[in-house]
Amino acid sequence: MQNPSTSSDDDRPADRWVANRWIAETGGTAGPEYAARFAALAEAGEDVHGEAAAVDALLPRRARVLDAGCGTGRVAAELARRGHVVTGVDLDASMLEEARRAHPAGRWVLGDLLEVAPEEVGAPLDAVVLAGNVVVYLTPGTEGTVLARLAGWLAPGGLLVAGFAADRHVAARDLAGWCAAAGLEPVSSAGGWGGEAPGGAYSVQVHRRPR
């Protein structure tokens, strides 16, 4: 859940921190509740890895992946289990605490997508993933800058894959516009991680950095 924060509370830009939609909604304390909700779904037999499965199908083996706004690490950990080299970045310390507890072998970075360094995320990357409504929760006014930065971390031919509720703050056309401005070309658009028809309340878009 991104995007403002630096690594410590002491040097965090207070105005951007307060303005961030995720922090405004959750107070930065949602990690335990979020982890418990998905654990309950998995225990009940629900498939909680639809995002990871969809992304995995797009990638070569041992792809270098950034899970941008990784939350509790559900998607990143599953992609790593499937053989990819994954780094998860998030601003919410409570979410990353759950990621580190559940997946101690993972690579987790606490930070702002506008401030973390390319070497921290393993750039150049084969894919950047924004699942779980990360696009929706970016601080208003920073979205285009964030997308441009993520696009710059992609290797030629690398993919940016985003899924979000397109009826909350951000429309499908908004993401498409930010990606185009960042020099990415559209690959596909769907209405869900299972390849549903586009045009509904949810949008999954894949864009590529030209080779």
Q: What pLDDT sits at residue 12? A: 42
Q: Which domain holds residue 181?
A: 14-208
Strand partners, 189: 205
Confidence at 1, pLDDT banded by 50, 70, 90: very low
Which one has a higher pLDDT value, 115 or 3? 115
Question: Does residue 128 lie in a domain region?
Answer: yes
Confidence at 186, pLDDT banded by 50, 70, 90: very high
Q: What pLDDT sits at residue 3? A: 44
Question: Does residue 41 lie in a domain region?
Answer: yes
What is the CATH classification number for the domain harbouring 45?
3.40.50.150
Question: Does residue 2 lie in a domain region?
Answer: no
* C-alpha distances in Å from residue 95, one per residue of 6, 87, 91: 15, 15, 8
- Report pLDDT digits (tens) over 48-105: 799 999 999 999 999 999 999 999 999 999 999 999 999 999 999 999 999 999 999 9
- Report pLDDT digits (tens) over 123-176: 999 999 999 899 999 999 999 999 999 999 999 999 999 999 998 889 999 999
Q: 150 with 142: CB under 8 angstroms?
A: no
Question: Does residue 185 lie in a domain region?
Answer: yes
pTM of the model: 0.88
Question: Does residue 179 lie in a domain region?
Answer: yes
Closest CA to 84 of 161, 140, 195, 7: 161
Q: What pLDDT sits at residue 42? A: 77
Strands 107-110 and 125-130: unpaired
Cα–Cα distance for residue pair 180/135, rounded to 1 Å: 15
Which one has a higher pLDDT value, 112 or 87? 87
How many domains, in total, are found in the chain?
1
Cα–Cα distance for residue pair 183/143, rounded to 1 Å: 15
126's tokens: 């084969």
* C-alpha distances in Å from residue 83, one per residue of 2, 56, 122: 25, 9, 16
Residue that is written with structure tokens 């605490």 in the block: 97
Question: Does residue 8 lie in a domain region?
Answer: no
Cα–Cα distance for residue pair 173/196, rounded to 1 Å: 17
Strand partners, 130: 162
Q: What pLDDT sits at residue 32? A: 81
Q: What pLDDT sits at residue 18? A: 53
